[in-house]
Amino acid sequence: MDRPSYPLLQKLAASRVAIEAVEPAIDGGRFAAKAVVGMPFRVEADIFCDGHDVIAAALLHRRRGEQQWRETPMRPLVNDRWRATITFSEAGHHEFSIAAWRDLFASWRAEVAKKHGAGQNISLELEEGKHLVEQALAVHDGRTGGDRSALKALLDEVRSSASEGDRLAVLMSDDMAALMARWAVRVNLTESETAFPVFVDRERAAFSAWYELMPRSQSGSPDRHGTFDDVIARLPYVEGLGFHVLYFPPIHPIGRTNRKGRNNSLTPEPDDPGSPYAIGSEEGGHDAIHPELGTLEDFARLVEAARQHGLEIALDFAIQCSPDHPWIKEHPEWFDWRPDGTIKFAENPPKKYEDIVNVHFYRDAIPGLWYALRDVVLFWLKHGVRIFRVDNPHTKPLPFWEWLIEEVRQVDPGVIFLAEAFTRPKMMKRLAKVGFNQSYSYFTWRNTKQELTEYLTELTREECRHYMRPNFFVNTPDINPYYLQTSGRPGFQVRFFLAATLGSNYGVYSGFELCEAAAMPGKEEYLNSEKYEIRAWDWDRPGNIRSDIAFINRLRQENPALRQFTNLNFYNAWNDSILYYGKFTDDFSNFLLFAINLDPHHPQAAHFEVPLWEFGLPDDATIEADDLITGQPFAWSGKIQHMYLDPHQRPYMAWRLKAPGGRR
Q: Which residues are catalytic?
A: 391, 420
Measure the CA–CA gap between 487 and 492, rounded to whole angstroms. Answer: 8
Among residues 77, 81, 71, 88, which one has the least CA distance to residue 32? 88
Beta strand 75-76 pairing with 33-36: unpaired
* Beta bridge mates, 72: 59
Looking at residue 218, its amino acid is: Q
Q: Is 447 annotated as a binding residue?
A: no
Instruction: Determine whether the annotation assigns residue 260 to a binding site.
Output: yes
Coil, strand, or helix at residue 632? coil
Please check if 364 is assigned to a binding site: no
What one-character DSSP code corresponds to residue 279?
Answer: B
Helix (H, G, I), strand (E, B) or coil at 664: coil
478 contacts: CB under 8 Å, gap ≥ 6: 525, 531
Contact 37, 202 (CB under 8 A): yes
Q: Was 493 annotated as part of a binding site?
A: no
Angstrom distance (rounded) from CA 308 to CA 303: 9
Element (H, E) at 644: strand 640-645
Q: φ and ψ at 226, to 5 degrees?
A: -70, 160
532 is in an annotated binding site: yes
Q: Which residues on neighbouring strands pair with residue 641, listed in sequence order? A: 608
**Contact (Cβ atoms closer than 8 angstroms) between residue 229 and residue 294:** yes
Report the half-sphere exposure of 45 (CA within 13 A, side-chain side). 27
Q: Tell whether 277 is in a known binding site.
A: no
Residue 80 Cα distances to 20, 48, 75, 274, 438, angstroms: 10, 6, 10, 62, 34
Exposed e or buried b for every residue in 189-222, given b needs 16+ CB within 10 A? ebbbeebbbbbbbbbbbbbbbbbbbbbbbbbeee
Neighbour count for residue 326 (Cβ, 10 Å): 17
Contacts of 523-530 spanning 24+ positions with Cβ under 8 A: 523/480, 524/479, 524/480, 524/481, 524/482, 524/485, 525/478, 525/479, 525/480, 526/477, 526/480, 527/263, 528/262, 528/263, 529/263, 529/264, 529/477, 530/214, 530/217, 530/477
Residue 507 pairs in a beta bridge with 210, 473
Longest dimension (CA), the chain: 104
- The annotated binding site for alpha-maltose 1-phosphate is made up of 260, 320, 355, 392, 531-532
